[in-house]
Each structure stands twice: as C-alpha cells, then as structure tokens.
Amino acid sequence: MNVMPRTQVPTEETWDLTNLYPDLDSFEKDKDEFKLQAQQIIERDLTGLTDPVEIARLIRETEQMYVRGSRLRSFAHLSIATDMTNTDWQRINAQLGLFMSPLMIQLSEVENFLDRLPKETLTQVALENPDLKTFVENKLRRQPFRLSDEMETALVTLEDTLDLPYTIYQQAKLADMTFPEFKHKGKKHPLSFVLYENHYQHHPDTKLRRKAFKKFSRRLRQSQHTIAAAYIAQVQKEKRLSDMRGYDNVFEYLLLDQQISRQIYDQHIDTIFEHLAPVMRKWVGLLQQVHGLKKVTFPDLQVPLDPEFVPEVTIDQAKDYAKNALKVMGPDYSEIVRKALDERWVDWAQNIGKSTGGFCSSPYGHNSYILLSWTGVLSDVFTLVHELGHAGHFQLANREQNLFSTRPSQYFVEAPSTINEMLLTNDLISQSDDPRFQRFVYSSLLGNTYYHNYVTHFLEAHFQREVLRLVDKEEALTTEKLHQLKKQTLTGFWGDAVEIDDDASLTWMRQPHYYMGLYPYTYSAGLSLGTVMSKQILDEGQPAVERWIEVLKAGGTKGPVELAQVAGVDITKPDVLVNTIGHINSLVNACIELTEKIDEETDENA
C-alpha cells in the first residue's frame, strides 16, 4: 500500500487542532501571555510568605500558568506527531523548547518555596482549600526526600542531561539503526524496526518470519554495547538519585509517585509469573497445532491464529462498533465518545512521517486528541476503543478536578482504556455465532490486548526488577549480563514450550519503557483492573457503571488502592490477578474449542 504525504490526506481523516489555536498567530500570542504569567510569578517576593490564603492564591496562579503551558506544548507536539518530516513544525517545536526551558528553571525557585513550606502550613492550605488537597498531599509525600534548594534547581537545570540515556537510546534505535534488505525465495524484502514489529513478526510464512527475525537480531546485536551503556546509565542514575534523596532502595524511589507499596509490586510480578506461564504455554500449543510447527521459536509467538481471516472495517463502521460497544457506560460517557468520533478528535490517516502506534492526548480544558494509523481491519477497532477509554477518563477527570488533581497513579492509568476492549469483545461476540468470527475476536483479544500487556510488558517488568535488584546491591552490569537476565526471564516463563535462543535475549533492547521508571508492570496492573471491572459491568449493569464513572471522575484525588476500592476491587490481594489469569485461560479454552468445531465443519464439507 502506498503511503501518501500529509498534504494529500482528506480533511475528514484528520483531527481538528483549531480547538487549541485557530492559527499560528494565536499560538505565538499565547506564548507571550505564558511568558508574562511566568514572569509575574517569578518576580513575586516570597520572603516571609506564610499566610495560607496567599499561598493558595500563588498555587492557583501557578496552575493557570501550567494550563496555558500544557496547551502550548500539546499544540506543538500534536502538530508534528502527524508529520515528523515537516521542517516548519520541527523548528516550532525546537523554538518552544528553547522558550520554555529558561522559564521553567526560574520557576523552580517557586517550586522550591512551596516544597519547603512547613507541614503545618501546607496542611492548613488543604483544610481551607479542599480542591488543593491532592496538590498538598503530593508535596508532603515528597517532602522528606527533597534536597537543598540549590540542588533541586541544579537538577532542573540538568534535566536534559539527565535524560540523555533515553535520548541516546532513541537516537540509536530510530536514527542510526538502519536495516539491510533480505532475500526470501528470490525476492527482496525491506526491513526496519517498524516493519519487523508491525509486519514480519506477525507474518504467516514461518520461514520468512524466522528469517526476518534473524536479520533483525543481527542488526540489533551491532548496537548492543551502545544501548546497554544507555540503559546501565539510566539505572545507575535512578540508583544515585534514590541514594541522594535518602530512599531505602531504588524501588522505594520509583514507587513513591505511583503510591504503591513494594509488597504489592513484588506480589504482582510473582503472581503473574507463576500463574500465567502455564496458560500461555497452552496458547502456544494451539498456535503450534494450527500452524503445523515442529517446534515453537521466539519469532513464532505473535503469529495470528487465523491469518487468512481478517474482517475489513470502514471508518464509519468502526464508529458504529465503538458507539454500540460503549453505550453501556451511560449517556455522559457515550456523549464523549460521540463527540470524539463525529467532531474530529481522531486522526485516522496513514501518511508519510506520522508517529507510529496510537495515543490519546487530553490537554486540560480542551477536547482529547486520538492518533491512529488506520488500516481498515477489525483489530484496529480495538485500538480505537482503547484510546477512547483514555479520552473518556480524562474528559471526565478534567471536568471534575483542577489540573493538579486530574492524573491518577501510573498503576491505574491503563485500566480505563483496556476495559473498553473487553466491552467491545463482548459486543462483537453477541453479534455473530460464526465460529471463525468468534475465534478471530477471542484470539485478537489474546494475541493483541493480553499478549501486549500481560506478556510482553509483563516480561519487561520481570527483567527490569532483576536488573534493579543488582543495581541496589551495587553489582556491576554489563551487556552480557543484561542478555543473560533477559534470557533467564524468557526461559523461566516459557519453559520447554518455546525455544529461546541468544537472539531472543536481545529483546530488552527493543523497548523504551525501561527509561520511564517502573512503567512496564503497570500495563498488566491496568488490564487486571479493567478485566475485573468489565465483568462487574456485564454482571451487575448500572450499579457497576456508576461506580466506574465515579472512579474516572476522581482523577488523581485518590491513590490506586482507594480508586480500586471505590470500583469494588481489592488490589492489595492477588485475587484480582488470579481472576484475570482465569479469564485469559477461558479465552484460550474458547479458542481451542472453536478450533475443534471449525476443523469438524471443514472435515464434513470436504
């Protein structure tokens, strides 16, 4: 399929950014307003300021400035995300960064002032201003670990430098890592990072798929020491910062803002590793049977169960699927979905230079923006409803909370999106009793949603924990040690069901999440909560929906344990994980039974 330049994309397949700024002049004028706001706050004399009323006023003025800054950043980011080859937007984004950086460094003095306020003063601010309670709680949580004002300002000044490990990783992966073509059956095939992960690892031709993996891995290995150096620098940075701030260990440092205990974190990883492995080995056995594989190797794990059955879907049909599946969430939520689909919140098109994957951005006080690369197949609808879940969540939270109280713990953030995929699955299954269609729906949920979150990202999390354990012990890390740890994770999980070779041990090099704190395990955390909650909605109906909407509106005003309790779920115990794995097992069993039924019908019609 030929990919068109952005200038040729039909308007109806693009998002409408004029809700942020109608034109570039408005954007530039708002930059001036932001600078004026920032300077007024920076120039304020904070000496001797102890009055809770005045402190609350300062916090609110700071919030309004950050709201404007969020809009500016969102507009620039969203504009270039649809065409990274656009040199005008490259320049505008670079200029915005240069414009913002010195202001944010100066504003760190204001943050330092707020951070060092006595606990009694901050508590009084929260008592007199309930809407600032979350802001105050976040300050108090970090207060025991703050450094001197000079050190905190230095860390803000060095922010770009401290982010270099991730920058180096991205440059090595996306800029320097080019892949040669390879031949298969006399035909040349192009290869790139995106082509391997989005195309070849799902390809039904086993020899082609495995050959692509070999060529892909060979090029990865050429950059192994650079990427290892970047990752080792990242974890050493995290360890040094945790020590400087006085944390007991690097895990305590990384879990603080997630508001999750080390006990819950470890329980999460240990429970899934133990209980999910046999279920996924059974799934692999089905793949082996259907595809006639003598053995299953690592590059076989993401081949579709039925690659010849790919239902096509138009954009209009996708909108109908989404609206029907999510109407169970009630009128307010359904209206958000309607607006998103009918008022150009979604950028559907595939075009040259567009960011890969999908995401949802929800600038405070404005509509959400959803980026897709629409290919016209049913599996894309799962991505659509997933991102609509993020949109629905933050539209509701933004309406109910101030800027400082909208975003929940990272532990929770994937739950509102994955619950929608469960609701879509149930709606699709109810529409057809064709066994092949039903198997496609179940296997899409297994092979995409659950594999992505509950296998790929979970195994990242298991590997990451092993790395950080060594870092905490001050043990030396090397490239080979990272390969060894990844291979141990994979062999421990897959056992004899999958052949894990040295190329598979390079998989840690492919994921950026290691540069984002303890992000990997939160995918399975969110999906667990989403799975259990979707079952409650299907079983209970309106009462469960009302609880869930209340949770979404709460934003970041409660920690993940409290949010889950409001939803009727206890995440302090392993039950939610075990029940989710039980659901995954039922999906695998359904695919096995449907395969037997399809085979019987095929034999009868032969």
Residue 367 to residue 336: CA distance in whole angstroms: 9
User: ∠ CA 513-464-174 to the nearest 5 degrees?
Assistant: 35
Question: For residue range 8-21, what is the model confidence (pLDDT) as tens digits?
Answer: 999 999 999 999 99
- At 210 the pLDDT is 98
pLDDT of residue 313: 95
Residue 51 sits in a domain whose CATH number is: 1.20.140.70
For residues 540 and 580, the answer to whether their CB atoms sit within 8 Å is: no
Q: Which residue has the higher pLDDT, 174 or 297?
A: 297
Residue 317 amino acid letter: Q
Q: What is the mean pLDDT of residues 548-565?
A: 97
pLDDT of residue 158: 93
pLDDT over threshold 90, residue 492: yes
389, 503 Cβ separation under 8 angstroms:
no
- In this prediction, residue 523 carries a pLDDT of 92
User: For position 85, what pLDDT does the model report?
Assistant: 87
Q: In the prediction, which pLDDT does 136 show? A: 97
Per-residue pLDDT for 606 more than 70?
no
Q: Which two tokens stand for residue 173?
A: 């992966």
The CA R_g of the chain, rounded to the nearest whole Å, is 25
pLDDT at 354: 85
Residue 317 exposed, middle or buried by CB count within 10 Å (0-12, 13-18, 19+): middle
How do strand 187-189 and strand 182-184 relate by DSSP bridges? antiparallel
- The DSSP element (H or E) to which 187 belongs, if any, is strand 187-189
Question: Does residue 471 contact residue 238 with C-beta atoms inside 8 Å?
Answer: yes
Contact at 8 Å (CB) between 345 and 407?
Answer: no
Residues 6+ apart with CB under 8 A from 539: none
Antiparallel, parallel or unpaired: β 182-184 and 359-361: unpaired
C-alpha to C-alpha distance for 314 and 312, rounded to whole angstroms: 7
pLDDT score for 594: 97
As given in the structure block, the two tokens for residue 314 are 């138009």
> What stretch of H or E contains 343?
none
Burial readout 16-41 (b: 16 or more C-beta within 10 A, e: otherwise): ebeebbeeeeebeebbeebeebbeeb
CB-based contact 380:528 (threshold 8 Å): no
Class of residue 474 by CB neighbours under 10 A (exposed 0-12, middle 13-18, buried 19+) = exposed
Averaged pLDDT, 134-140: 97
pLDDT-derived band at 350 (thresholds 50, 70, 90) equals: confident
Extract the runs of DSSP E, i.e. beta strands, from 244-321.
none
pLDDT of residue 214: 98
3-state DSSP call for residue 248? Answer: coil
Mean pLDDT calculated for residue range 323-347: 98
Q: Give SS3 for 149.
A: helix
* Strand-by-strand arrangement of the 346-347 sheet: 346-347, 369-371, 359-361
C-alpha triplet 424, 427, 429: angle, nearest 5°: 110
Mean pLDDT over residues 130-153, rounded?
96
Cα angle 254, 576, 519 (rounded to 5 degrees) comes to 25
In order, the DSSP letters of 42-94 are: HTS--TT---HHHHHHHHHHHHHHHHHHHHHHHHHHHHHHT-TT-HHHHHHHH
Total structural domains within the chain:
1
DSSP 292: T
Structure tokens belonging to residue 292: 């006639």
H helices present in 500-541, as ranges: 520-540
Nearest to 466 by CA among 220, 274, 266: 266
On the question of pLDDT at 356 being above 80, the answer is: no
Residue 304 confidence (pLDDT) above 60: yes
- Residue 2 is predicted with a pLDDT of 66
Query: Is residue 235 assigned to a domain?
Result: no
Parent domain of 93: 6-162
CB-based contacts of 581: which residues, under 8 Å, 6+ apart? 272, 275, 276, 279
| Of the candidates 520, 523, 493, 514, the residue with the CA atom closest to the CA atom of residue 298 | 493
> Using CB atoms within 10 A of its CB, is residue 66 exposed (0-12), middle (13-18) or buried (19+)?
middle
Taking CA atoms, 149 is separated from 121, 156, 445, 606, in Å, by 19, 11, 49, 78
Residue 316 backbone dihedrals phi, psi, to 5 degrees:
-65, -40
Sign of CA dihedral 225, 231, 234, 239: negative
Of all helices (H) and strands (E), which one includes residue 454? none
In the chain, % of residues over pLDDT 90: 90
Phi then psi dihedrals of residue 466, to 5 deg: -65, -40
Has residue 131 been placed in a domain? yes
* Out of 227-241, 435-449, 583-597, least confident range: 435-449
Buried b (16+ CB within 10 A) or exposed e, 536-552: bbeeeeeebbebbbebb
Chain segment 405-435, per-residue pLDDT in tens? 999 999 999 999 999 999 999 999 999 999 9
